[in-house]
Copies of this chain bind each other. A is one copy, B any other.
Amino acid sequence: MPSALENLLAHSRQTVALSQVSMLISWDQETQMPPAGATIRAEQSAALARVLQERRADPRIGEWIDAIDLAALTDVERCNVEEARRIHEHAVRIPADLAGELAHAASRGQQIWGEARKRNDFAMFAPALKHMIALRRDYAARLARAGMSAYDALLDDYEPDTTAAEIEPLLESLRPALTALRERIAGKPRGPKLMGRFDRREQFGLSRRIAKLIGYDFGAGRLDLAVHPFSSGSPCDARITTRTDDADPFGAIYSTIHEVGHALYTQGQADPFLLSAEYSSMGVHESQSRFWENQIGRSRAFTGVLFGMMKESFGDFGIADADTFYAAVNRVETGFIRTEADEVHYNLHILLRFELERDLFAGRLEVEDLEEAWNERFERDFGRKVTNVSDGILQDVHWSEGYFGYFPTYSLGNIYSACLDKAMRADMPDREAMIASGETAPILEWLRERIHRKGRLYPPAELIERATGEPISPQPLIDYLNDKFGALYGL
């Protein structure tokens, strides 16, 4: 007869396999599904979400866990049991109907968001958003433990073991540093903007070559086009998407590098079905994507390599040399779009969303007033008026899918990635020369060893501290930005 641990692991393994199926049909929805499929995909997603919810709430899980002698387990085994317990305790609070409704609303909401964004019409999206927020409020109320805010309950899904109150000072400490840096840069001569048209098919081919160069395994993944780039999947099948724009090849390139960063983490998991091998938190996940995108992808060394690849792909595109190209990649400019933001502005975009999300779930803000609230605060933080709602509140897919509490993990990711970068530079003094020669495998291996293969063995902050030898802090990010942009702009 199998032991309680064996029963628990076998059950969990199948649940993980089913959750991979759930990710796969979302990927299909974004990349392959014909238009009419939308009418049934929402029901398919909902049916699978219900199944997952029921499985995770299965009372046998509690019985198996009670029968396990935790003291007799290895660290990895104990981690699997603790994760199974956490997921189970979460699931018993959420009825399968609510899980199904959330999945249904996410699938439909995303479709409506896509349409509304195309038509530049927030009112078209508002009812779906209102419905999603109502479902998420219900969801949060069921999850919140005593004294926990609704927002913290949501945050817990993405960044366990932390609260908005802990995150806020970390993130807010970036604001004065970033605005001061922006002030110092203002008026200084900047790198040029890319001009002209860049063949989209060639952008896609170049994206593939870059992904390969930095270690993405196409034998265990694939690259497709999607409206909103994302990565999803599991170690043996970690898929990524990008998007192309005639006028802006950097969109395709840096979206690709960002998603490759996520996928390298996934491809590096120690096991495809063990909970202990899964990613530590969304903040840590974003630390991987942002690290490859910024600390590597936007470095002087890497942009030197990229400049050569761009010339091979597009011929002369009006940039004279690698230094000018580096300045073009890192051109600082106040723009409307988060995903296109430079490193100086990026976290200010997140702070705005973080603020609005907390207001929505504290009952201080309703959907009716959201567009105005966005536009007001955007002007306050960025000094520009939003005239196009697709460049304003309709720019991100996240809320349409019910991802509230997700945005701050991007800034946590930036903070973590700078911590990792500082430690890696100390370990690898010749890193820039290595990158310049097109060699990034040792960088990947450094991350594999310290982050990817560790899975969920430690809470996010501990994982980063073990990897870097120092407690997490926003200072490495502030130093990195001041150093980089100080040098670039001669401050």
With known contacts A25-B21, A43-B17, A34–B222 Cβ distance under 8 A:
yes
**A219 touching B20 by the CB < 8 A rule?**
no
Chain B CB count within 10 A is highest, among A25, A41, A217, A237, for A237
Tell me whether A419 is interfacial, beta carbon within 8 Å: no
Q: Do A220 and B34 form a contact, CB below 8 Å, given A43-B273, A51-B51, A273-B40?
A: yes
B33 touches A237 (CB 8 A): yes
Closest CB in chain B relative to A278 CB, distance in Å? 14
The interface bits of chain A over 33-53 (1 if a CB of B lies within 8 angstroms of the residue's CB, else 0) are 111111111011011101100
Q: Which residues of B contact A18 (CB under 8 A)?
A: 44, 47-48, 51
The answer to whether B48 and A220 touch across the interface, beta carbons within 8 angstroms, is: no
Q: How far is the CA of A326 from the CA of B48 in the complex (A)?
A: 49
A24 on interface, CB distance cutoff 8 Å: yes
A261 within 8 A of B: no
Assign chain A's interface to a size class: 35 or more
How long is the Cα–Cα vector from A25 to B34 in the complex, in angstroms?
15
Is A13 an interface position by the 8 A CB rule? Answer: yes
Q: A44-B21, A48-B18, A234-B40 are in contact. Are A34 and B272 (CB under 8 A)?
A: no
> Which of A13, A34, A39 counts the most chain B CB atoms within 10 A?
A34
- The residue that A34 contacts in the complex, of B33, B47, B50, B218, with Cβ under 8 A, is B218
Q: B272 near A237 (CB under 8 angstroms)?
A: no
CB pair A237–B273 under 8 Å, yes or no, is no
Q: Say whether A437 faces chain B, with CB atoms less than 8 Å apart.
A: no
- Cα(A24)–Cα(B235), bound, Å: 20
Q: In the complex, which residues of chain B have a beta carbon less than 8 angstroms from the beta carbon of A445?
A: none
Contact A35 B219 (CB under 8 A): yes
Partner of A14, one of B34, B47, B222, B239: B47
In whole angstroms, what is the CA distance A105 to B20 when docked? 19
Residues of the B chain whose Cβ atoms lie less than 8 Å from the Cβ of A144 = none
Do A237 and B36 touch (CB < 8 A)?
Answer: yes
Chain B residue nearest to A55 in the complex (CB): B51
Contact of A37 among B36, B50, B220 (CB under 8 A): B220
Does A173 count as interface, using CB distance less than 8 angstroms? no
User: Contact flags (1/0) for A223-240 with B, using CB distance below 8 Å?
Assistant: 000000000001111010
Q: Which residue of B lies closest to A43 (CB)?
A: B17
A70 to B97, CA, bound (A): 29
List the B residue with the shortest CB-CB distance to A220.
B36
- List A residues 1-29 near B (Cβ within 8 Å): 13-15, 17-18, 20-21, 24-25, 28
Are B236's CB and A40's CB within 8 A? yes
| Sample of 14 more A-B contacts, CB < 8 Å, known A37-B237, A39-B236 | A14-B43, A14-B47, A14-B50, A20-B44, A21-B25, A24-B24, A24-B44, A25-B25, A32-B222, A34-B236, A34-B237, A36-B237, A38-B236, A43-B273
6 A–B pairs (Cβ distance < 8 Å), ordered by A: A24-B25, A24-B28, A24-B44, A28-B28, A35-B220, A40-B235
Closest 10 pairs between A and B when the two form their complex, measured CB to CB: A37-B237, A36-B220, A17-B47, A36-B236, A14-B47, A17-B44, A40-B236, A17-B43, A40-B272, A39-B236
